[in-house]
């Protein structure tokens, strides 16, 4: 599992928030948020977007530590729709993307049809495949 807990804790403290405040803003139990910082679980796509908004940073920075020159804001496009849009822009079939990710076509289709959410390693592969940041992949728009 990719470890983002330390980065989340660092950013949260710089912003002056407690774990309890973060939990409240994410509308989740304090133990659930704490599990992110302890690297026991990873945020959902929705919570990655919320975290980036709350902490005034990029998803890319939370996950990889890579600072981006552009700023992002929450977009109006949902992840499955964005994924389909990126695939079509590259003139790729669902099978081709699935092959690049090393997964079954049905699993990839589940991403586009909002039945499954990819794990973080697959999100990173998708961002690399489509040559976009994690923020762009998850539907955030440049400011």
More confident residue, 1 or 116: 116
* Structural domain boundaries, residue 89: 79-142
The reported pTM is 0.83
Of 116, 107, 105, nearest to 80 (Cα)?
116
* Spatial separation of the C-alpha atoms in residues 30 and 37, rounded to whole Å: 11
| 118 within 8 A of 126, measured Cβ to Cβ | yes
**Is it the case that residue 120 has pLDDT exceeding 80?**
yes
Three-class SS of residue 119? Answer: coil
Q: For residues 86 and 68, state if they share a domain.
A: no
The pLDDT confidence band at residue 86, using thresholds 50, 70 and 90, is very high
Beta strands in 4-71 (DSSP E): none
Q: For residues 68 and 85, state if they share a domain.
A: no
> How many domains in the chain?
2
Domain of 67, CATH number, reads 1.10.260.40
Q: For residues 26 and 60, state if they share a domain.
A: yes
Point out the domain boundary residue: 23, 57, 72: 72
Three-class SS of residue 91? Answer: coil
**Is it the case that residue 135 has pLDDT exceeding 60?**
yes
Phi first, then psi: give them for residue 61, nearest 5 degrees. Answer: -70, -40
Of 108, 115, 45, nearest to 79 (Cα)?
45
What the block records as the tokens of 121 is: 């390693």
């Amino acid at each position: 599992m990719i470890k983002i807990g330390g980065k989340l804790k660092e950013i949260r403290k710089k912003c002056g928030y407690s774990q309890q405040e973060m939990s409240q803003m994410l509308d989740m139990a304090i133990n659930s948020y704490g599990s992110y910082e302890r690297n026991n679980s990873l945020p959902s796509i929705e919570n990655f977007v919320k975290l980036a908004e709350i902490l005034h940073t990029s998803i890319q920075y939370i996950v990889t530590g890579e600072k981006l020159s552009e700023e992002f804001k929450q977009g109006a496009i949902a992840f499955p729709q964005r994924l389909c849009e990126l695939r079509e822009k590259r003139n790729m079939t669902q099978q081709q993307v699935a092959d690049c990710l090393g997964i079954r076509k049905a699993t990839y289709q589940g991403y586009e049809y909002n039945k499954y959410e990819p794990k973080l390693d697959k999100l990173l592969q998708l961002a690399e495949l489509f040559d976009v940041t994690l923020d762009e992949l998850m539907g955030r728009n440049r400011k």
